[in-house]
Structure 1
Amino acid sequence: MFGYYMDLALRSLKRNPVLTALMVLAIGLGIGASMTMLTLLHVMTADPIPDRSAQLFYPQLDPQSMEDYKAGEDPPDQLTWTDAMNLLHAGRGVRQVAMTGGQVTVRPEGGKARAFFADARYTSADFFGLFDVPFAYGNGWTAADDEKQARVAVLSRKLADKLYGADRAVGQSLQLGKYGFRVIGVIDAWDPVPHYYDLTHGGYARSEEIFLPLETAIALKQGTSGSISCWGLMPEDGDMRNSDCVWTQFWVQLDTPAQVAGYREFLTHYSQEQKALGRFVRPPNTRLRDVMGWLDYNHVVPGSVQLQGLLALGFMLVCLLNTVALLLVKFLRRGGELSVRRAMGASRRAVFAQLLVEASLVGLSGGGAGLLLAAFGLWIVRQQPAQYAVLAHLDTTMLLTTFVLAVCATVLAAVFPAWRACRLAPARLLKIQ
């Protein structure tokens, strides 16, 4: 029976090519516009570490002066070096990581190529385990390496391939500026989106190419990068460890609600202790947000993208209303044909099913057109100077969603026209014929 309905649908669509083309175009435009923006939102709002996002937390403290103080306002987004080291060495979480971003000068061995700059991440030993970083070769360093300021490095696979060949990188010497390091690990493909662990470089920055022990990098005065906020004088020697500035990030892993509650209390007690010591002057003001809460707090998804997504969905609704009108005209004009089928014994249910099959074909065709338009729309997005533009690609999930949405939307749009056509009185229409 389904094959018979398909044959009737194809015959009907061929009889009215202009009307069919208008319906396919309406569906295609609506699907193309909406899927372009939905794909972008899908990528930009994805959980960057779904297996652990509810266990990773970003603590905030308020060590600032009383100048411009307002009760209830959020504390700074980063920590001072002193606070980061205190929280790190307190070890109150399952794992904890202090870090900051930087840029280093890479000098290839033997002068085979010119020196170049590479983005770096200065961090403590738990970084790789806490963020579930995959290794292709070797491994990260240990807490003991942090303490003795070991000159070791972990490379991205891309950089390791460029310098040595990824499978030969472990154990090689790496010259960064005037200091030598030993490569102990190569990270496999890893580039979380959004760049949640450090938003000071942008929510959609690319992952770093070199990872160094935090205390080693700072002691050797490797260049830092990222946001710095100060409320006091900068030290004359330029050593940020002694400054009244926030410039380091900190993450802690807390696996249970009890651990989360305990850490909140710890942050409050720490703030009270630092105030008693004279370091803090403001009342205790702390925050502890998980990954998704941190992304939401920082408004990682631009408001313009969200607005465009809503406008695209509104445009799709307009296209569907136009499709409803076109289908209603098409089905009602076929009243005589449908009445003959009813007179020959076809039930209303059979006629209704026939019309829905026809609408489904229109939906599939519209989905194909919409897919092409969505691909073109995403290509246009990739040409924009925005940091997130490179992410605009149609993945398998959104590809399937395009066709499912097209068919479902068209069938839904066809329900009323099909029901209305089935309600026509066959006897009256046959008499007119």
Structure 2
Amino acid sequence: MKSYNNNYLIFLLWALPGLVSADELNQSNTAWVLTSTAFVLFMTLPGLSLFYAGLVRSKNALSVLMQCFAITCVVSLLWLAGVYSLIFSDGGEWQEIIGGTTKFFMPQLVISSMVGDIPETVFFMFQMTFGIITPALIVGAYAERMKFSAMLWFSSLWLVIVYMPICHWIWGGGWLADLGVMDFAGGIVIHVNAGIASLVAALVIGNRKGFPTTAMPPHNMTMVVTGAGMLWVGWFGFNGGSGLRADGSAGMAIIVTHIGAAAGSVTWMFIEWVRFGKPSVLGIVTGMVAGLGTITPASGFVGPAGALVIGITAGVVCFCATQIVKRKLKIDDSLDVFPVHGVGGIVGSLLTGVFAATSMGGLGLAEGVSIFDQVKVQALAVLVTIGWSALFSYLILKVLELTIGLRVTNDEEEQGLDIVMHEETGYHNL
């Protein structure tokens, strides 16, 4: 009987918030966003970490894992210090441009604090995971050659100067939100933003020693596929949780996310099969990431048929972009961040304005807004993001280059960042 009473007390304590504040707290929505938060963090640690680490050479695998881990820690602290506040709090007369300072270090945050019908603690953590993965994506552009100190400074400054204002403009009630931009889970805020920064970073830091004449294949494809699978699963929280509700719209977001990923994978696989005679494992997982990145802005607005078209388009366009960037332009965006995430984000953001319309099987545009009108707004947001990200990513990188330096020496690059930066190796038999 004592055990039963204790269990009953625990149940009452758990249920009490719902009993006391049933008109405010939605426990289903809260549980779903909590779960989605774990999914999105899982995308960076360990999903993206393993995906990127497997793609580089063995002498740099540990450095990539370290970079993703360190970015997770640093961004979390900056988020608490003020980034969250400047995105999601009331900026008063400056609201169109930036949020307020009242939530620096979250002094007023208590268990009962709410955002809509979920606790602010949950919203704070969910949005933090998006802030973490965005600069982590850029690691793929400068992998195998940037100093660890420069990486930390760049990621921190980029979060504050580039990610924070764009995120506020679109998700925090800023001027682009007022124009009606549709970016459900981060096609513009995350993928276009990080993709453009990656292209700029690759250009500023320069190619790896030996690129493009020396082959630099992934050192561990098993690790790559494992990380890719984690990204696919984690993306259900990324897109499915972005509506902050456990309802049919979350279910639809997950369906179209899955269809987009599958269509991107199969399309990329068949293109390689036709062009090179054999489908590659690297190709099918890259097509998956392209499909996921491209469907992300549309995931809360389109139906399955629209997702199929978007996924196929992602496979074709992003494949061509990788060939142009690497083979034609000879830009060493090491892990194809710009051609996959940047180009995919641009394509997906524009197609959102098309396939969100009910006439195209979507969930509908705003009243009185035509497909043409919405595509214009989407294009404006994409162009603004490209300009802002390119300009300030360049300035941050040049300042760091002139002060602490961006990249390791040729000898250090030859030796590998695992030993040079961390005095450790990922594999003891090397």
TM-score range, shorter chain: under 0.3
Between Structure 1 and Structure 2, the one with more strand by share is: 1
TM-score, normalising length: structure 1: 0.20
Larger Rg computed on CA atoms: 1
Q: Which has the higher contact order (CA 8 A, sep 6+)?
A: 1
Between Structure 1 and Structure 2, the one with more helix by share is: 2
